[in-house]
Amino acid sequence: MVKTIESREEYEKILSSNKKVVIQWSAIWCSHCKAIAPKLAQFDHDYEDITFIKVDIDDLLDVSEEAGLRAMPTIHFFHNGEKFDELVGADDTKLLEHINNLAAAPIA
């Protein structure tokens, strides 16, 4: 299950403690965010070595502003605490490509 992040501290802890992280930046008003959520939940189940989290941009405004989001949905891919890749939009095929690229990245 994709974990919803409730605080900056929780967000920073996950990024610093996990080697591979996928962040879905989301909002309750974003229909495309809702549409892609089931795919992310399935990938969370399928890729056990990747941590999947969701951040509501309205609940954690300061964190989302720092992320430099331009559109919704935006998905960030982190590897060893550093931003590895980004996907803007709800394209299932591109999402899978990005996740496979992250999964294939060597763990430092």
Catalytic residues: 30, 33
- Other CB atoms within a 10 A radius of the CB of residue 105 amount to 15
Q: Are strands 51-56 and 82-88 parallel, antiparallel or unpaired?
A: unpaired
CA–CA separation, 53 and 3 (whole Å)? 5
What are the strands of the beta sheet with 51-56, ordered from one edge?
3-4, 51-56, 20-26, 74-79, 82-88
Dihedral sign for Cα 21, 45, 29, 13, please: negative
